[in-house]
Amino acid sequence: MNLLSGLEKFGLNVEKIDKDLFKKEFEKQNSRPKSKIQPSQSEKDFLYNKKINCTVCRDPFDVKIVKSARLRRMEPDFDLRPRYHDIDPVKYDVYSCPHCGYTAMPRYFEHLTKGQIELIKEEICENFVFPTEDEPETYDLETAITRYKLAMFTSITKHARDSEIAYTCLKIAWLYRDLLKEMPETNAEEIAAKKEAADLQAEFYKEAFEGFQKAISSEDFPICGMDSYTMDYLMACLAFHFKQYSYASKSISNILSSQTAQRRIKDKALDLKTDIVNAIKQEAAGK
């Protein structure tokens, strides 16, 4: 499965990146037709530009920041994917330097060692070709996905922690899930494009699950801003999706048996426990 489709246009050599994300390398990608769905024009009212300096080349550039004070929270998806009225902040949670190509989520953007900076300069900056089209006022889903893939390429190049790569995979999977809801199926080309997007969504989701398992075994909490109980719940959701009910049940048990887990996450865990029990019963009845 090709995961980093479309990055060749930035001058990046994705051929030497292996498929196993958590060996820090990938495989060559193929691009697909872009969706014609455009974001709401009102979305730009929730954004403002902020000038920052690139951690690698030190040149200044503008990034889009979501006006958090204007956000109206909605109920998140089952796997904690945040939802808000009028705008999706997930689309804007990546900074990408137009001068050198260094790209990362804000939580990681400033934190680089000298060795990582050298790797990024050698593998990304020296070959980077930024697109000639103007920066859009708002990002559609495919633009956001491309930016996250650039962040993924950077993470692998700098030998980032498993959690950083897994978190990027999860966010890409979330965006593909939304994109699938918008993609038309009126002809063979559109059907093929939607199938490819569905395959990519499933693969990124799987990579997120596997990557977080490795991160939990080797990294200290908080991981990607999540405490152990939030991570247990997320992992239970991912395991449930992949029908790994034993893993999901163990993660839920960790939450429900805790004296310190918040009531909110315990309530979610109880609901998921019911779904797990029902799924196990249905699976047993089908045998």
Instruction: Convert the pLDDT of each residue in 111-136 to its tens digit.
Output: 999 999 999 999 999 999 977 788 89
Number of domains, the chain: 2
CA of residue 120 relative to chain centroid, distance? 20
pTM metric for this prediction: 0.88
Long-range contacts of 99-102 (CB under 8 A, 24+ apart): 99/54, 99/57, 99/59, 99/61, 99/130, 100/54, 100/56, 100/57, 100/59, 100/124, 100/125, 100/128, 101/10, 101/11, 101/12, 101/125, 101/128, 101/130, 101/150, 102/54, 102/55, 102/56, 102/57, 102/154
SS3 123: helix
Report CA-CA distances (Å) from 249 to 3, 33, 131. 30, 40, 47
Residues with Cβ within 8 Å of 156's Cβ and at least 6 positions away in sequence, in order, are 17, 21, 24, 25, 26, 165
Domain extent at residue 247 = 227-286
Instruction: Convert the pLDDT of each residue in 250-272 to its tens digit.
Output: 999 999 999 999 999 999 999 99
Please indicate, yes or no, if residue 256 is contained in any of the structural domains: yes
Q: Are residues 126 and 192 in the same domain?
A: yes
Please indicate, yes or no, if residue 54 is contained in any of the structural domains: yes
Q: Are residues 184 and 240 in the same domain?
A: no
Q: Which residues of the chain have pLDDT under 70?
A: 1-2, 4-41, 287
Q: Are residues 173 and 256 in the same domain?
A: no
Q: Are residues 274 and 182 in the same domain?
A: no
Sort strands 95-96 and 83-84 into parallel, antiparallel or unpaired: unpaired
Instruction: Report pLDDT for 27.
Output: 36
Instruction: Report pLDDT for 181.
Output: 97
Please indicate, yes or no, if residue 222 is contained in any of the structural domains: no
Instruction: Report pLDDT for 177.
Output: 98
Give one DSSP letter per residue of 248-280, joined into a string: HHHHHHHHHT-SSS-HHHHHHHHHHHHHHHHHH
Instruction: Report pLDDT for 23.
Output: 52
Q: Are residues 79 and 174 in the same domain?
A: yes
